[in-house]
Structures are given as structure tokens and as C-alpha cells.
Amino acid sequence: MAGRVETTEPVGKSVPRIDAYEKVTGAVQYVDDIPFGPNLLYGKFVRSPYAHALIKSINTSKALALPGVKAVVTGKEVPNRIGLYLKDRFVFPLDRVRWIGEPVAGVIAINEEIAEEAAKLVEVEYEELPAVFDPREAIKPDAPLIHPDLGKYEVVPFIFPEPGTNISEHFKLRKGDVDSAWSQCAAIVEDDFFVPQIQHVPIEPHCAVARWDKDGTVTLWAASQSPFAQRDLIAQSLDIPHGNLRVIAPYVGGGFGGKAGVSIEANVVAMSRAVPGYPVKVRMTREEEFLGTNVRQSCAAHYKIGCDKDGNLLAYECQYYFGGGAYNEYGVNITRAAGYSCTGPYDVPNVKGDSYCVYTNTQVGSAMRGFGMPEIHWGLEQMMDRLAEKIGMDKAEFRRRNCVRPGDKILTGMTMPQVDLVKCIDLVTKAINWDKKDKPSAPHKKRGKGIAIMWKAPAMPPNPGSQAIVRFNEDASVNVFVGGQEIGQGTFTVMAQMAAETLGVPYEWVRITANPVDTKYSPYEWQTVASRLTWSMGNAVKAAAEDARQKILQVVAEYWKEDPKDLDIKNGVVVSYKSEREQSLKKMVVYGLPNENYEGWQGGPIVGSGKFMPTYVTGLDPETGQGTRAVVHYTVGAQAVDIEVDTETGQIEVLKIASAYDVGKAINPDLVMTQIEGGAVHGLSAAYEGFYFDERGKLINNSLVDYKIATVMDIPKEIHGDIVETPLEDGPWGARGVGEHVMVQTAPAIANAISDAVGVRINTLPLSAEKVYLAMMKK
């Protein structure tokens, strides 16, 4: 991707962002029909009408007889399992289906209309089985067993399934002595909460094109957050040598985690194998996006929390039951993350936490912005409010007293890195005039304020790597090659700033070359997930730029016969602080510099490479969750909201959201603020969203007509943001990520404000006007 801007600013300043949709000559910009030629074929899925059933037979003869149909692919053609952390699914199911909408077969035809018609002609004989949809029911010993072969699945060493049950992961956290601590508590609160499945709702639905050439090379074009992870997982599952599988990922039209890992992409590659040499395209409709792609998991939570008379937390017990859906290959790590972060950002001496990932006969639960943290903060932040009320303490002060601080030994035994959560709390309470009771706009309306705090660590394996390459051109412009994806967060702008700052060149000289991300040519990047790119890929870019910089200084030092330590690069010119000589980077970064009397040359094309991988994350004891270093770091933050509730209808109007996050170092403050603003709206929207199923497990609200997301009418009148900067020890210039964190605690902050306004508690999302009204009537 080549991006140009108008001004030059160093790291820590806002610059005009590189446009993620700038047209780049010669690059595949969108997964449309034009680049694939007249031989492009189209695919449609045959989907299961049952939530749980055995597949007795599949007859494709009628579909294959339809003119224009080229092939039909079933599970028999792809017998290997696939999965990121737990290999628990087939590309197409072999023996049973596990949710309504699961792809059973793929039909390939000359156009979408014929493929759709042919899909209706595929005859599948099923034997319906009992289904279970709620994780609290699925965990019971007599629940229908969704994965009888769980004990045979390949799994990473830090995930612990329980064969013979529907539990795909059980993370245990034990600290101190909870049982003994209850007697010391002056106040105890206990309650249950529930968060339903929700959808990512990207503007661009899932779409992929695959071509399996006759020489065995395979190309996949997909709007993806995870091109390298997709290459790895699909290559393993379909027995493709990694070097033969190329994944090309153009810009993503909305991801939010829904385009991380593998969704439809493996299906499309398997379908393309049936028609060698022909590209096959599969595109989800909006209904299919709801029905057949990954969603955020549901979560049922139980809390029991106690404190002393002065408001100091003493004991914390929780159980999280994540409804992981039909396959938990990604969701098990969400559950693990919830387990090692189960207390939220609080310092509690005695903790007992159990976090379960549970198979259910619903859509596949997977990564979504926040990665388990919105689900657990929904209940725990309301419980903290109720505990503060019980001892008569101000709710903001209760959080100041108990929140994590640098140097604390947190729940896993890890030492808390440098953060300033107290400052975040102070900033948001000031922004909404926390101590002032504002008047409502009408007699039948009531005002209320609420606060919630959060933390989140990048949830990932202990060794996810990043790589970057920096290459100069003759005019000293710079190409920075990265493998991370631009999904609207502005990462390319930040990478350009980091490279320019390190190299000592103007920002407008830097071009980020990553459109499309191409596993054949792009440097390696694990995935664009976990709010990790500013930190991880940023460190790799900084290292690559430093490598190139040192090569330049060495060449010039030898040319001038000076010490490289006396040289610097400023505004694209090498300067000597000793001799005061200058040397422009132009031309010399490719052609080098001539020896005296042009007796030979020295130097040559300057290319720098860099990598980064955390090396210090340790394992956790499977029985206690204790270890030296559970995660790389935490980002913390606070939100406070000011709302108005209509007592005649239950309608909620969010008047103001104030947010503050400790980002370590704001490389680009404007981009941080856009994350804060967008995250507040996303968090507000998630408070209103939720899947509804009938008794058979069929999704009822599978379109934007019935599935409510926030619109411009719901956006608060004011969104206030503050940035706190406490440098991270291994972040580039101290920076840490802030992409997901900004929506984690919005829903509980609103719920706390509802309680403040009208005195009712809502324990189950979504927050609908009807639910609030009925709660008021019941009260």
C-alpha cells in the first residue's frame, strides 16, 4: 500500500492518516469478479436444517444433473480436522451436524443463481438428535453429548478439555483461601448474569475466492484478519505444503474479530480442489452472515464477592459458562482469557474462579472485539456497584480503593506492569460531573450516572511473532513491508510514523507496502487480533528501521572515516556532530558512495529487517492458574456515562460517555481518540444486541430488520475521551494497544446508570426499553 500525506510529524503527534481505501495501481483492491477472468465459478452451501443430527447419507446426483453445475463437495473429500487451539471441526461435517445453518456440502456452478438452485437439490438424510442451547444446561451430566470424540482431538498444551462432557476448556484460578475469607466480610453480594450471542455485523460480509491449480499450488483471496494463520491451518487440514498455499488478503471491510482465524475460507479452498484451474467464489449474504459465520459467545456468570467495612475487597468467587457454540477451536482461548482475568482490574487477596467453554448447538463462538472481557465485566462491574452500595461507599471511590496498581501481585501471581487506572477513574468522573445530580429534561424522565472500569491483556499463545522489512528507493523514499492488516484502526499510519521517527526521514517519504497482505511476499504476522499490532508489529518495524539506519550510518562513517556514534540522520540527511559534514540519503541508499578518485564504491542498496516475539510469558499451573508471567501486559481504562430514562416507556437515552485509557504512549493521539469514540458507540450497540432463537435452535433475528444495532439516532450527544500515558516497558516508545478495550465496560456502565436513575437492576443483556419498563413495574 502506498500512502502519501501532506505534513511531517514525529511519533506522539497526530498526522493525516493513510487512507485505507486509497486506490493502488496494480493491486487487487476488492474480492470482486474482475481480477479472476471469465472462468470464475461460484459456490453456495447446503446447510443443515437441524441443530443436532447424524448424517445418514448425502445424494448429490440431482444437483450434479442441473445444467451449469460443475461439482459438489462433501465431508468425504476433506476428512481431516481443522482448528486453531483445538482441532474439533471438519471443513464439511463427516458424521453429524451441530447447528442450524452448518454447511454440509458446497455446490459449484457457473453462477450464483444456479449454485443456489442446485444446493436445494442435494438430498441429505438426517437422524435428528437431542440438542442443547444454553451452556448452563449443556454442562449437566445428562446433557446431550455434542462431541463424543473430544478426547481424540488434537489440542495445544495450555487448553484442558474434559472428554465425556461438553466442556472443551476448564480454566481454574485459585489464590489465597476464599472459604475462610467469607467470615471476615462485612458485606457480601451474590447473583447471576447472562450475555447472549451477538454478531460482528461488518459492512462487508465474508467473501473468499480460491483457485487450486493443476500443479498443486493454491491461491486464496479472502478479506481476512489472519492470512498467515489461515495458511497454516488450511495447509494442515488439506495436506497442502505451506509453500504451495498463498493467501492474499485485501483491505477488510470491517472485522471486529469475525474475520480472524478460519470461517468459510477452508470450505472454499476445498471446493476449488474439485475444479482444478478454476477460481471459485463464495460470498455470504447478510442472512448467511448471521446464520453461518462466527459470532461472539454467550456467557452465563455467577458471582459472590465480599469486602470489609472499609470497602477493601477480601474474597471473590466466580463461575463463567461460555456458550461456545458447535465448535470451540478458537473459543477455548476466550474462556482461558476470562479465567486468568476473572476478577477484572481489582486487587483481591482470595480468589476462586472457574471458567468453562461449553459446546452448544448454536453458531460457532469465536473472537470478537474484547475477547471475553465484555462478557465478564457485564456482571462483575454491576456487582462492584452493589457492594459499594451495601457498605455506603461512593462507587468511584470504591474502585479507586480496590483497583490494581503497579507492583501488585495480581490473581495469577504475576506482578502488575506500570499502569495508572486511578487517573483514568479521576478523569472520567470529572468529565461527567460525577458528584452533581443533574435535572431530567421532563417530569416523566429520570437522570442517572454510572461508572465501570476494565482491563484486558492480549489473549494469544506465548510466542506470536511479528516481522518487518524496510527498503529504500533511489530518491530515499522508504517502503515498509508488514504482514499486519489494516481493518480501519489506522495501523498503517502508525507504522509509517514509527519508521520515519526511527530512520530520521520525513513521514511523507514512507510508504506502507501491505495491500494486499500476501503470504508469498509479505513479512510474517501471526494475526491482526488482540490489539497487538501497535506493540508487536510496531516493535518489529522499529527494529527493521533501526537495522537500516545502522547500515546507513556505517556506510557514511567509513566514507568519512568517522565513528558511527558521532553521526545522526535528520530529515533525510546524515549529519556529523564532530565534523559538521552532511550527506543526503538520496541515491546513496541504493547506489552507495564512491571511494576516493572513484576507485571503487562502498555501500549498496539499504534493506533493514526486524522481528519481535515476546519470550517471557510462562505457563500457568492447570490446577491454580498461578505462574510468573501470565500475559505480556494489560491495558486499563474507565468509562462513566450520563443517561436519561423515560419512566413511561423504559427508553434509555445515553447523553454522554466519558472514557479514559492508559495507552502507554499515544503514537497518534487522533487515532487513539477515534478508537475511544468508535469503541464507545460499539459498546453501546453491544448493550442493545442479542440473538433470539426458537425452541428448535433456529435464529429468529437473522437480518438487520430484526437485529438491532446502534444507529446515528442512538449516538450520545457527547463522547468525551482522555488519554493517559504510563509507558510500557517493552512497547515501542512505551505504547500498548487500545483497539478492543474501548467497548469492554460500556454496557455495565449504562446498567449502573439505569440503577442510579430508576433503582432497577438488569442482569441479562440486551438492555431493551421493554426490559427496563417491566423491571420498573415489578419494583
Report the C-alpha gap between 485 and 525 in whole angstroms.
9
Task: From residue 391, give the alpha-carbon distance in Å to each of 155, 317, 422, 717.
Answer: 46, 19, 21, 34
In the 8-state DSSP scheme, what is residue 535? I
Query: Sheet holding 718-724: strands in order across?
Result: 445-456, 635-646, 652-662, 718-724
Query: In the 3-class helix/strand/coil scheme, how is 410-442 assigned residue by residue?
Result: CCCCCECCCCCHHHHHHHHHHHCCCCCCCCCCC
Give the distance from CA 617 to its chain's centroid. Answer: 20
Alpha-carbon gap, residue 533 to 552, rounded angstroms: 27
pLDDT at residue 33, rounded to an integer: 54
Name residue 550's amino acid. Answer: Q
Q: Does domain 37-129+206-283 have CATH number 3.30.360.10?
A: no
Per-residue H/E/C for 183-215: HHCCEEEEEEEEECCECCCCCCCCEEEEEECCC
Centroid of chain to Cα 468: 21
What is the C-alpha to C-alpha distance for residues 739 and 420, in angstroms, rounded to an integer?
18
What sign has the CA pseudo-torsion 412, 413, 417, 419? positive
Are 20-29+464-612 and 37-129+206-283 the same fold in CATH?
Answer: no
What integer pLDDT is reported at residue 580 of this predicted model? 97
Facing residues of 658 across strands? Answer: 640, 720
Residue 739 pLDDT: 95
Give the residue extent of every domain in the chain: 20-29+464-612, 37-129+206-283, 298-460+619-778
**What amino acid positions are annotated as catalytic residues?**
740
CATH number assigned to the domain with residue range 20-29+464-612, chosen from the 4 options 3.30.70.360, 3.30.365.10, 3.40.470.10, 1.20.1250.20: 3.30.365.10
Tally of CA atoms within 13 A in the half-sphere of 131 that contains its CB: 26
The hierarchical CATH code for the domain 298-460+619-778 is: 3.30.365.10
Q: What is the pLDDT of residue 515?
A: 85
**Is the preceding peptide bond at 766 cis, omega within 30 degrees of 0?**
yes
pLDDT computed for residue 16 by the predictor: 60
Cβ atoms of 224 and 265 closer than 8 Å: yes
Closest to 334 measured CA to CA, from 321, 344, 345, 346: 321
Q: Output DSSP code: residue 457.
A: -
- pLDDT averaged over consecutive 10-residue blocks of the chain (779 residues)? 36 62 33 73 98 98 98 97 98 98 98 98 98 98 98 98 98 98 98 98 97 97 97 98 97 95 98 98 97 98 98 98 98 98 98 98 98 98 98 98 98 98 98 96 98 98 98 98 95 98 98 94 98 98 98 98 98 98 98 95 97 98 98 98 98 98 98 97 98 98 96 95 98 97 98 98 98 96
pLDDT for res 37: 86
Question: How many other C-beta atoms lie within 10 A of the C-beta of residue 37?
Answer: 9
